[in-house]
Amino acid sequence: MIRRILPFIKKEFTEILRDRLSITSLLLLPSILLFLYGYAISLDIKEIKISICDKERSEFSREFTDGLISSGYFRITARRESPNEIESDLRTSKSQVGIIFYPSVYKNFLRNNEPSVQILVDGSNAQSSQYTLNYLVGAIERFTQNAIKKELIRINTIQTPTEPLLTERILFNPLLKSPLYLIPGLIAFVIMITGAISTTISIVKEKENRTFEQVILCPVSPFTLIIGKIIPYFVISLVSSAIMILLSILFFDLPTKGSLLFLSYAVIIFLLCASGFGMLISTISSSQQVAFTIAAFSTLLPTIILSGFVFPINNMPEIIQLITYIVPAKYFIAILRGILLKGSSLSELYPETLSLTIFAVLIVSASIIRIKKKGII
């Protein structure tokens, strides 16, 4: 068995090493994409531009403004004299948030009267606006608690019937860094793209050059043939994956709280899914262009949209949530986040691991059946 596979493995490695562009792309392109997307894609919002109209001009309004600036998320870009100017800044995108302090704001605050502070948020970008509001709410709550404490101290109140003391603790990602959430998805995205496309192109290229007929005539089983074609690209993609994870740890502070052995198993199984999927696509493609288009379309969109990479699956319509069950990247991303961020074990990620393993077996089996049935790739 091994003796029959080795010639195919040597042949593939020889062709890959002869093409310096291909070997460079397979090893370096995933890491380049990791840096590109890792630094370019971020759900964090910083330097939110604020325009302020302060008709109160009191210590209260100044402390409120200083509290927003000290949070690190906001930056005052303009101070206006009228609310109309604030709205103009929002229309022209000179600011994203407008804050208007009306007279007697501090007195109304103490008396719990109607609010005398108006906050205007640019809602043209719904996602950005939601994050901005979340930051504002958090900053306002902190400022309100501090203002109440100062007032109680001023009037010498000893015992205060305040709200219950809540201790807030964020686990696994205390600073809420979006790269730590996105990088496992980026790794899955790059592995799926490179693994599937490289395998597909290698097979279809031989078909176009009419060299694969000679391979088909060899006295080997379909299983031997498919394993011999997958292994070289599988090994190169595995090395590239290890490089990506190492770079993520070094440059993006990605933690590794879980088992490295479990992590290795998950990467190998997902690579097997990607390579097997590439082989399956190559059986129905007649040219490199067609193969590339099918591989890119069938791997890129599901991995980005339907895997939980960027968009939470729980927020999707129920019918779309059902479709996500047939996306292998969904399970791999869940495993990566569990191992790297949470330190989860196999027993805790058993459903995802089993599902990913089943997908790998089914995809590779489908490729073998396709080769055996058609006699061609």
Domain ranges across the chain: 2-42+177-374, 48-154
Q: How confident is the prediction for the chain on average, in pLDDT?
A: 81
Q: How many CB atoms lie within 10 A of CB 361?
A: 14
Partnered with residue 98 across adjacent β-strands are: 51, 120
Structure tokens, 249: 């740890």
DSSP-assigned letter for residue 285: -
| Per-residue model confidence as pLDDT tens digits over 70-111 | 877 888 889 998 889 998 998 888 888 998 888 877 677 666
211 Cβ contact partners less than 8 Å away, ≥ 6 residues apart: none
Structure tokens, 205: 């290229």
Strand 117-121, strand 97-101: pairing: antiparallel
pLDDT at 377 > cutoff 50? no
**In this predicted structure, which of 97-101, 122-126, 299-303 has the lowest mean pLDDT?**
122-126
SS3 316: coil
DSSP-assigned letter for residue 356: H
Give the dihedral sign, CA 142/145/151/156. negative
SS3 163: coil
* pLDDT of res. 204: 80
296 Cβ contact partners less than 8 Å away, ≥ 6 residues apart: 193, 197
The answer to whether residues 139 and 122 touch, using CB atoms and an 8 Å cutoff, is no
What distance separates the 2 farthest-apart alpha carbons in the chain?
95
What is the CATH topology of the domain spanning 48-154? abc type-2 transporter like fold (3.40.1710)
343 Cβ contact partners less than 8 Å away, ≥ 6 residues apart: 257, 258
SS3 32: helix
105: left (phi over 0), alpha (psi -120 to 50) or beta: alpha
Q: For residue 293, which of 191, 200, 184, 172 has the smallest C-alpha distance?
A: 200
| Per-residue model confidence as pLDDT tens digits over 157-179 | 545 444 444 456 677 877 777 78
Q: What would the 3-class secondary structure string for 142-163 be? A: HHHHHHHHHHHHHCCCCCCCCC
How far, in Å, are 9, 133, 134, 211, 214 from residue 222 at the CA level? 15, 58, 57, 17, 14
Structure tokens, 178: 């979006």
Mean pLDDT of 8-30: 80
Structure tokens, 345: 């074990």
pLDDT at 376 > cutoff 70? no
Rounded CA separation 40/129 (Å): 19
Q: For residue 366, which of 226, 173, 181, 192 has the smallest C-alpha distance?
A: 226
* pLDDT of res. 351: 94
113 Cβ contact partners less than 8 Å away, ≥ 6 residues apart: 107
pLDDT, greater one: 144 or 43: 144
Q: For the whole model, what pTM was predicted?
A: 0.78
Q: For residue 363, which of 299, 278, 283 has the smallest C-alpha distance?
A: 278
Mean pLDDT of 32-55: 81
